[in-house]
């Protein structure tokens, strides 16, 4: 972008500061870029920079928007561009007589996703989706997308494979951008809940020497000639920090070499995990319901317009307040068998198994808020789970199933606190003892009852946004058959 030698926009009155945009050049150097506008009168300073989301504060005023051309409708002497700037979209209006010939020509036939800096007057309009329209005054085309190589994602329908292949561009669509904004709010509110409730964030390692959630889904890495693995969960490490700090949480990427190709599985996903010393399963259930309610209520409060963009039914989310229903595994198994007898489920449920996808879907459709299924048979659960003192065949664990058929979003448990029991579990599960010596130390030195859970962010986003697949819940999904872009 050429800059006049005095650093001021063309026609800029001397003595007036120019608005500037900071860009990063490819070399990584900062470049100050005065917004050079094609104003009707080239001596007028460009109006203040605003965002589409905050246009309400500028009604009746002229503003500068920096963004992209999302769409353009042309009707003779009238142009109706739709601009987007990352915070929202707004329709502009430009009449051949209301703008300079230069601006009209620059806008006419402008290609989708060309980057533009536009000035215009904000006008309230009841019919406009955001409540406002922009009467275009000035325009600078920052980069014009050439007709010979048009933006590949048109406003027509595209197949999901095509869109995933162009995910780096697909994220620009208003719907995808709204989902990513809601995801960010879910992550913010989740961390906020723990920060406000006395939890300390401690970050576990991503490179680990051993499995946490079963050895079949590990991604191996060559660690200077030694085998290592990408973490499946930070749990074992935050058990250590919980015994140091009391209440802790971790938040980071986790990896599962899942061969499953379902709408719920990613190979790389983000997990937030609290771990609490002197906490039993009942305490954990209370934590889970308060935590989830806080997240959902925060999204309702802070991302209302995004929920509208994606067409999410707010009433379904407004119902998400404590207490959540609690269901033993035994009771859930009974319900599943009855559902099978009533013809609502194809396959009968075999007591002792973990729930299959259709079972979870059916169970979670029976309630208007997340249902907390607890005390599964120990045999189908992880080695570190504390047995129920009333029936050692059962584990003191919980799966929280989101409503509307979304299934498991949280998995957690009370942890084995006895050294002897943990030691024998490690042997039974044929885990490499040396790699778990440090974990056994937590039972040698000041062991206490403690509990924690993990929530997969993408599963939570899918549920809260009402999406039918987790691939749209993360900027770049990693699945069995996709690692591009």
The distance of closest approach from Cβ of residue 443 to Mg ion in the complex, given in angstroms and rounded to an integer, is 23
Q: Which stretch binds ligand 4AD (CB under 6 A): 8-16, 67-75, 109-117, 456-464?
A: 456-464
Quick one: which of 164, 458, 463, 472 contacts ligand 4AD (CB under 6 A)?
Answer: 458
Look-up of token digits 């006049």: 4
Backbone φ and ψ of 242, nearest 5°: -65, -35
Under 8 Å CB-to-CB from 127, ≥6 apart: which residues? none
Helix spans in 356-414 (H):
357-364
Instruction: Please give the structure tokens belonging to residue 107.
Output: 């806008």
Burial 359-380, CB ≥16 within 10 A → b, else e: bbbbbbbebebbbbbbbbbbee
Q: x/- site string to ligand 4AD, residues 287 to 306, per CB under 6 A? A: --------------------
In this chain, which of 138, 411, 412, 452 binds Mg ion, going by CB under 5 A?
A: 411
User: Cβ 411 to Mg ion, closest distance in Å?
Assistant: 3
Q: How many residues bind ligand 4AD (CB under 6 A)?
A: 23
456 contributes a contact to ligand 4AD by CB under 6 A: yes
Q: Please report, as residue ranges, which positions from 311 to 340 form the binding site for ligand 4AD (by CB under 6 A).
A: none
Tell me the helices (H) and strands (E) count for the chain, helix number first: 13, 20
- DSSP 8-state secondary structure symbol assigned to residue 1: -
Contact assessment for residue 179 and residue 310, using Cβ atoms and an 8 Å cutoff? yes
Site for ligand 4AD in 233-272 (CB under 6 A): 233, 235, 256, 258, 265-266, 269, 271
Q: How far is the CB of 213 from Mg ion (least distance, A)?
A: 8
Task: Label residue 398 left, alpha or beta by phi (over 0 means left) and psi (-120 to 50 means alpha).
Answer: beta
* Smallest separation (angstroms) from ligand 4AD to the CB of 352: 19
Please report, as residue ranges, which positions from 459 to 478 form the binding site for ligand 4AD (by CB under 6 A).
459
The full DSSP string for 122-144 is EEE-TTSTTSEEEEEEEEEEEEP
Exposure string for 319-341, b = 16+ CB within 10 A, e = fewer: ebeeebeebebeebbebbeebbe
Of the candidate residues 454, 462, 463, 477, the single one contacting ligand 4AD (CB under 6 A): 454
Question: Which among 404, 403, 409, 477 is positioned nearest to 180, based on CA atoms?
Answer: 477
**Total chain residues near Mg ion (CB under 5 A):** 1
Query: What is the x/- site pattern for ligand 4AD, positions 397-416, by CB under 6 A?
Result: -----------xxxxx----
Q: Please report the sign of the dihedral spanned by the C-alpha atoms of residue 416, residue 420, residue 425, residue 431.
A: positive
**Smallest gap, in angstroms, from Cβ of residue 192 to ligand 4AD?**
19
256 contact choice in Mg ion, ligand 4AD, none (CB below 5 to 8 Å, kind-dependent)? ligand 4AD
Residues 6+ apart with CB under 8 A from 120: 62, 63, 65, 92, 134, 135, 136, 137, 138
Q: Shortest CA distance to 214 belongs to which of 61, 348, 381?
A: 381
| Residue number, nearest CB to Mg ion | 411
Write phi, then psi, for 141 (nearest 5 degrees): -90, 115
The 350-389 contact track toward ligand 4AD, x by CB under 6 A, reads ----------------------------------------
**Residue 52 interaction partner, one of Mg ion, ligand 4AD, none, beta carbon < 5-8 Å per kind:** none
In 3-state terms, what secondary structure has residue 480?
A: coil
Which partner in ligand 4AD, Mg ion, none is near 385 (CB below 5 to 8 A by kind)?
none
Stretch of 58-66, 140-148, 350-358, 404-412 contacting Mg ion, by CB under 5 A: 404-412
The piece of 73-81, 131-139, 305-313, 451-459 that touches ligand 4AD (CB under 6 A) is 451-459
**In angstroms, what is the minimal distance from the CB of 256 to Mg ion?**
11
Q: Could you tell me the smallest distance in angstroms from the CB atom of residue 273 to Mg ion?
A: 12
Task: List the x/- string, 209-228, binding to ligand 4AD by CB under 6 A.
Answer: ---xx---------------
> Which residues here bind Mg ion, judged by CB under 5 A?
411
> Which residues here bind ligand 4AD, judged by CB under 6 A?
212-213, 233, 235, 256, 258, 265-266, 269, 271, 273, 408-412, 452-456, 458-459
């Amino acid at each position: 972008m050429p800059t006049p030698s005095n650093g001021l926009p063309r026609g800029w009155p001397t003595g007036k500061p120019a608005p500037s945009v900071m860009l990063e050049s490819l070399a990584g150097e900062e470049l100050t870029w005065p917004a050079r506008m094609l104003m009707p009168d080239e001596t007028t300073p460009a109006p203040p920079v605003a965002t589409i989301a905050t246009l309400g504060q500028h009604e009746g005023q002229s503003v500068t928007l920096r963004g992209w051309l999302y769409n353009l409708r042309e009707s003779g002497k009238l142009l109706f561009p739709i601009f987007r700037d990352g915070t929202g979209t707004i329709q502009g209006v430009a009449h051949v007589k209301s703008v300079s010939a230069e601006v009209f020509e620059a806008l006419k036939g402008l290609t989708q996703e060309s980057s533009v800096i536009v000035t215009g007057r904000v006008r309230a309009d009841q019919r406009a989706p955001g409540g406002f329209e922009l009467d275009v005054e000035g325009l600078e085309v920052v980069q014009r997308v050439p007709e010979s190589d048009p933006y590949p994602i048109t406003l027509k329908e595209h197949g999901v494979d095509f869109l995933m292949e162009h995910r780096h561009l697909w994220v620009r669509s208003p719907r995808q951008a709204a989902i990513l904004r809601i995801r960010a709010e879910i992550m913010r509110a989740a961390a906020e809940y723990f920060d406000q409730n006395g939890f300390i964030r401690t970050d576990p390692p991503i490179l680990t020497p051993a499995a946490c959630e079963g050895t079949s889904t590990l991604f191996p890495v060559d660690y200077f000639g030694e085998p290592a693995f990408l973490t499946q969960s930070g749990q074992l490490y935050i058990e250590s920090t919980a015994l140091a700090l009391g209440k802790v949480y971790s938040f980071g990427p986790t990896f599962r070499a899942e061969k499953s190709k379902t709408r719920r599985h990613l190979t790389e996903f983000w997990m937030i995990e609290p771990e609490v010393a002197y906490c039993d399963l009942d305490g954990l259930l209370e934590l889970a319901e308060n935590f989830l309610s806080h997240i959902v209520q925060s999204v309702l409060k802070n991302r209302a317009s995004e929920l509208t963009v994606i067409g999410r039914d707010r009433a379904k989310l407004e119902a998400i307040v404590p207490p959540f229903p609690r269901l033993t595994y035994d009771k859930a198994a009974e319900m599943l068998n009855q559902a099978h007898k009533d013809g609502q489920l194809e396959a009968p449920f075999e007591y002792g198994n973990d729930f299959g996808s259709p079972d979870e879907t059916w169970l979670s459709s029976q309630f208007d808020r997340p249902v907390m299924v607890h005390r599964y048979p120990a045999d189908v659960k992880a080695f570190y789970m504390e047995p129920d003192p009333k029936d050692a065949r059962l584990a003191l664990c919980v799966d929280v199933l989101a409503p509307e058929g979304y299934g498991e979003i949280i998995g957690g448990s009370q942890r084995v606190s006895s050294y002897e029991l943990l030691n024998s579990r490690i042997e039974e599960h044929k885990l490499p003892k040396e790699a778990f010596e440090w974990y056994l130390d937590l039972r040698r030195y000041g062991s206490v009852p403690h509990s924690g859970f993990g929530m997969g962010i993408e599963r939570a986003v899918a549920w809260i946004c009402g999406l039918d697949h987790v691939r749209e819940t993360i900027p770049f999904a990693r699945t069995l058959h996709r690692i591009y872009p």
